[in-house]
Structure 1
Amino acid sequence: MAFGNFYSASCLILLLLSLSWRTSTALPVRTGLSGEKCADSSLLFEKLLQNITALLNDTELFHRIDTDAAVVISQAETVLACAPTQNSTCMMQRNSTFSESECLGNIMKDLVYYSAVIQSYTNSNLRLPETEVPLLNSTLEIIRSLRKSCSLMPNGENNIPEDVGAPKWENSSYENRQQMFKMMKGFQVRTITINRALGYISSGDHRK
């Protein structure tokens, strides 16, 4: 009887060890950019969109600028990378498998690029720097928070180059203002895309 109890206990221990090993190997720890991590920042991305929209409507920041043109120069391929797969009901779809990391990586590239654009513009020949710089700094602060919360690295850093070819702003104040308006209009459009992409990731449709 004692031998039987010992045998049963040994089998139980082996079974538990086997289950523990299978669990640890079947569910590896995810590292790098996380969809869940960025999805938690969805309210901050919405705040960014609201902030950009408010800037575009600010008559001091974009004095005498009247155009609906939007310019997107960012090298990020966010629109393509974040397009839903074919089983989605969205109009723009992709044939290949949706990749969270690819989508979120391109979103980070956009944030880095537009952060550089805005920062360089604040150092240009502004019409009313005492008014314009604080307005633009509010946008930069949101971008910094997003870059930290959606970082590629655990310590809040990322491996995306900072030299992203921001404009030199060498023209007149009016011409620079006009160009900046078009770029911010493009940033607004891109931010709408980003918000939709995060909604798609949060829905989990790409995992079905």
Structure 2
Amino acid sequence: MSVSISALLLLVLECPVAVSRALPAVGQEGMRDFCVLNARALLRNITSALTQAELFSGIDCTRQNMEVNLNTDTPSVCSPKDSNCSRSTKSDFDQASCLTNIGNDLTHYYTFLYAQPDPDHVLGSSVLQSLRELMETCFKGSVPTELKKAAADHSSTYSERLNLCKVMRGFHVRTITINRAIGYMNSGDHQR
């Protein structure tokens, strides 16, 4: 296990947010039970896609580094109120900023994945579909409208598959953060 993954796992274990409990239906703007369910479906589909040989032939994706979107502050702005992740205590939670950063992350990954060669429709039928559903139902306006699609019959190069692997691994980790944030907002704990 690489150092970056070990550090990430330590951070995840150090800063737990309960999302496995039953979440009450709270009238939060945009964060309803269906958002929690859509976010969980996206996480399941990404986890499954990471094991698909069609996407990563010739690459052991589990041994590759990850590339996360560094253009957002989702992990820091979506950390729970009164949490002490990264050794600093955060006393407030800005829901609008968290939602904006999540929306920007989702748009970033959607744009990237949409442009990938997908001759076997592995991405389109699972990850892109669940990503689009989450964006349309919970993050209105974040689905990009004019995107360039890779040729469906174009086989990906080794370099493209390697890059896809790294980005998908980063998206997997970011989706865990997004699931926790959506669960936290849905629970209403941030308003206490």
**Alignment TM-score, normalising by the size of structure 1:** 0.65
For residues 74-93 of structure 1, what are the structure 2 equivalents within 5 Å?
Answer: 74-86=70-82, 88=83, 91=85
Mind listing any 5+ residue stretches in structure 1 that lack a counterpart?
1-33, 123-128, 165-171
Alignment of 1:130 with 2:119, yes or no, is yes
CA contact (8 A) 1:83 1:94 kept: no
Equivalent position to 1:205, from 186, 189, 192? 189
Cα displacement (A) at 1:73: 2.7
Cα displacement (A) at 1:68: 3.6
**Alignment TM-score, normalising by the size of structure 2:** 0.70
**CA distance in 2: counterparts of 1:45 and 1:74, whole angstroms:** 20
**CA distance in 1: counterparts of 2:92 and 2:70, whole angstroms:** 24
What percentage of aligned pairs have identical amino acids?
Answer: 37
In structure 2, relative to structure 1, the CA distance for the partners of 1:163 and 1:100 (3 Å cut) is farther
The corresponding residue for 2:180 is 196
Secondary structure of the corresponding residue to residue 106 of structure 2: helix
Secondary structure of the corresponding residue to residue 130 of structure 2: helix
More helix by share: 1
**CA distance in 1: counterparts of 2:158 and 2:109, whole angstroms:** 20
CA contact (8 A) 1:56 1:181 kept: yes
Equivalent position to 2:132, from 133, 144, 149? 144
Counterpart residue identity of residue 157, structure 2: S
Moved more, 66-75 or 176-185: 66-75
Equivalent position to 2:169, from 172, 185, 192? 185
Count of aligned positions: 153
Moved more, 196-205 or 56-65: 196-205
RMSD of aligned Cα (Å): 2.5
Counterpart residue identity of residue 69, structure 2: I
Secondary structure of the corresponding residue to residue 109 of structure 1: helix
Counterpart residue identity of residue 75, structure 1: N
Larger Rg: 1
Moved more, 36-45 or 109-118: 36-45
The corresponding residue for 2:32 is 39
Equivalent position to 1:117, from 97, 112, 116? 112
Cα displacement (A) at 1:53: 0.7
Alignment of 1:56 with 2:50, yes or no, is yes
Cα displacement (A) at 1:119: 1.1
**CA distance in 1: counterparts of 2:44 and 2:144, whole angstroms:** 27
**CA distance in 1: counterparts of 2:176 and 2:145, whole angstroms:** 23
In structure 2, relative to structure 1, the CA distance for the partners of 1:91 and 1:76 (3 Å cut) is closer
Cα displacement (A) at 1:45: 0.7
**CA distance in 2: counterparts of 1:161 and 1:149, whole angstroms:** 14
Alignment of 1:174 with 2:149, yes or no, is no
Cα displacement (A) at 1:162: 7.1
**CA distance in 2: counterparts of 1:55 and 1:161, whole angstroms:** 22
Moved more, 182-191 or 195-204: 195-204
Structure with the bigger RCO (C-alpha within 8 Å, sep 6+) is: 2
